[in-house]
Amino acid sequence: MLTLKKIIAELDFIAKSLTKRGYNEDDIKVILHELISHDKKRKSNQQANDDLKSKMKDFSGQIGKLYKEGKQDEASKLKAEVVEIKEKIKTYDENDKELKIKIDDILLSIPNAPHNSVPHGKSEEDNEVVKDWTDPFPILEKDALPHWELAKKYNLIDFELGAFITGSGFPLFRNKGSKLKRALINFFLDEAEKAGYEEIRPPLMVNEASALATGQLPDKEGQMYYMEKDDLYLIPTGEVPITNIYRDVILKESDFPQKVTAYTPCFRREAGSYGSDVKGLNRVHQFDKVEIVQISHPNESYKLLDQMVSHVENLLIKLELPYRILRLCGGDLGFTSALTYDFEVYSAGQKKWLEVSSVSNFEAFQSNRLKLRYKDRDGKIHLAHTLNGSALALARIVAAILENFQTPDGIVVPKVLRKYLNFEIIN
């Protein structure tokens, strides 16, 4: 969430930038002013309360001394006074609690303020193409197939069996399909390691505190699988456990940047999506992803964002897949993000762009909930910036590879993956 300090200091900018997400500038200003007035009330309330508490402490100390000196009467008088003070403190405490709840409710409901470069817009149609694919698309035979047909033809993925074992959206990879996936995971992890990321294997379930800290709760509660009995959530992305490494952490300035990567399966309920978009691997409940996360000094975060974008871009170049890069418009931007670049890969069999990566700078929005801070040279504490990106999401990459590299003789595996495989062609 945004910090109150930032809202007070940059109210106009925030209100203006939130119009990119479709807010009415005047409406949001009303909300923000309400927030600030709650805060003012809370501060004056606190001051009065603190004074009373101070008095109470003082009196209590005196009572102790009076008892030691045997002055029972005077002690009793003071006691009576403290009891009165306590009553007042109680009402101040209650006021404080109420105001804090109001303030937090508003703060939690406000999404991140989009970066200056974020375009206005309502939906994905308004996303800005910052880098388009200008080379020709792969030329396929006339009878080229979409990946779900190819998967069946070469026995790579069994959607029906996955549905039988679990349900729809849980594909079962087998044979060379399974190996291809393993090769991709290794390739992505190796590339991340070369780029300086520490590889970890995090838990795949997280508690409520972790899901809140990265912003999956309360915003995307319906997206996550939840195990009531143990009060745990299946992770919708590796971002959650990775970023939570830094919950309640105060870094030194010299610790920047922190770079962590992990391969994890991701679980998403994806409630309410049907139709051709969900066919095959286009949208599934369980998929694999290699995630990269950086914790940054605020001054560096946009530089690092660019680095992450080119890291992802390189992966796609090495995989020889046609891709384009989009800058998400305000309407398509995630709740917690200030700026997001999406990567789409062209899947020639279905003649469709598939989203395979999302690289974002959250600025201090996540850090605020995470309480992820750093100490500067003067010993002052500030919020760090967090960034993350998929590098890459597997299911759709598999789809694109199958479709783009199909030939009459079979599917020719991209060269970079061959060292991870004991075959070069799927037939």
Partner RNA sequence: GGUGAGGUGGGUGAGUGGCUGAAACCACCGGUUUGCUAAACCGGCGUACGGGUAACACUGUACCGCGGGUUCGAAUCCCGCCCUCACCGCCA
Residue 135, Cα to own-chain centre: how many angstroms?
A: 33
307 C-beta neighbours (distance < 10 Å), count: 18
Least distance from RNA to the Cβ atom of residue 92, Å? 10
CB atoms near residue 410 (< 10 Å): 17
Element (H, E) at 166: none
Least distance from C-beta 8 to RNA, angstroms? 9
Pick the closer one to RNA by CB: 53 or 152.
53
152 binds RNA (CB under 7 A): no
Binding mask 34-63 for RNA (x = CB under 7 A): -----x---x--xx-xxx-xx-xx-xxx-x
Burial of 132 (0-12, 13-18, 19+ CB in 10 A): exposed
* Residues 334-353 interacting with RNA (rule: CB under 7 A): none
- Of the pair 372, 395, the CB lying nearest RNA is at 372
What 3-state class would DSSP assign to 122? coil
Closest contact distance (angstroms) between CB of 100 and RNA is 10
Closer to RNA by Cβ: residue 42 or 283: 42
Q: Is 4 in the site for RNA (CB under 7 A)?
A: yes
Instruction: Identify which range of 106-114, 192-200, 300-308, 372-380 contacts RNA by CB under 7 A.
Output: 372-380
**5/122 with CB nearer RNA:** 5
Cα 147 to Cα 354: distance, rounded to the nearest angstrom: 12
Nearer to RNA, 39 or 288 (CB): 39
Q: Which position among 153, 286, 375, 421 is part of the footprint of RNA (CB under 7 A)?
A: 375
User: Do 264 and 239 form a contact (C-beta atoms < 8 A)?
Assistant: no
DSSP per-residue string spanning 3-17: -HHHHHHTHHHHHHH
- Binding RNA (rule: CB under 7 A), the pick from 373, 392, 399, 405 is 373
Backbone angles phi, psi at 60, to 5 degrees: -60, -40
Residue 264 Cβ, how far from RNA at the closest point, in Å?
18
Residue count, binding to RNA (CB under 7 A): 27
Counting contacts by CB under 7 A, is residue 67 touching RNA?
Answer: yes
C-beta of 66 vs 308, nearer to RNA: 66
Q: Is 84 in the site for RNA (CB under 7 A)?
A: no
213 binds RNA (CB under 7 A): no
Q: Which one, of 226, 224, 260, 227, lies nearest residue 242 by Cα?
A: 260
Backbone angles phi, psi at 236, to 5 degrees: -85, -15
**Interior/surface letters 33-71, b for 16+ CB within 10 angstroms, e for the rest:** eebbebbebbeebeeebeeeeeebeebeeebeebeeeee
| Closest CB to RNA among residues 61, 167 | 61
Asked whether the CA dihedral 267, 145, 400, 426 is positive or negative, the reply is: positive
Q: How many Cβ atoms sit within 10 Å of the Cβ of residue 95?
A: 16
Per CB under 7 A, residues contacting RNA are: 4, 39, 43, 46-47, 49-51, 53-54, 56-57, 59-61, 63-64, 67, 79, 82-83, 86, 250, 373, 375, 379, 381
